[in-house]
Amino acid sequence: MDPVNGHQAVDARLGNTSAELPTDTVQRATRFARRRCDVLGFGEAEIGEVLGMLGLDR
């Protein structure tokens, strides 16, 4: 599975898209991902890439 588009493949198999997720779920997941990236020492560019890979970059 392509790591960049892997979430899309999983979403397609499950019949979900990130647009269908409740806004509060997306916001919580985004905050969680940002905190973990910050702990790992990622900069804003890397955090943006990670959020994009997770489909949380909207």
Pick the residue with more confidence: 57 or 8? 57
Quote the pLDDT of residue 8. 57
What span, in angstroms and rounded, lies between the C-alpha atoms of 58 and 53?
12
Query: Which one has a higher pLDDT value, 39 or 12?
Result: 39
Biggest alpha carbon–alpha carbon distance for the chain: 34
pLDDT above 80: residue 24: yes
Is residue 1 a part of any domain in this protein?
no
Q: What six digits make up the tokens of 7?
A: 């979430």
| Overall pTM surpassing 0.85 (yes/no) | no
In a domain, 24, yes or no: yes
Q: Which residues contact 19 (CB under 8 A, 6 or more apart)?
A: 58
In a domain, residue 43? The reply is: yes
Whether pLDDT at 16 is above 60:
no
Task: Say which DSSP state 20 is in.
Answer: G
Has residue 58 been placed in a domain?
Answer: no
| Average pLDDT score over residue span 33-39 | 89
What b-and-e string marks burial along 36-57, b requiring 16 or more CB atoms within 10 Å of the CB? ebeeeebeeeebeebbebbbbe
Q: Which domain holds residue 23?
A: 6-53
Is residue 14, in this structure, part of any structural domain at all? Answer: yes
Q: Does the residue 30 lie in any domain?
A: yes
pLDDT at 10: 55
Number of domains in the chain: 1
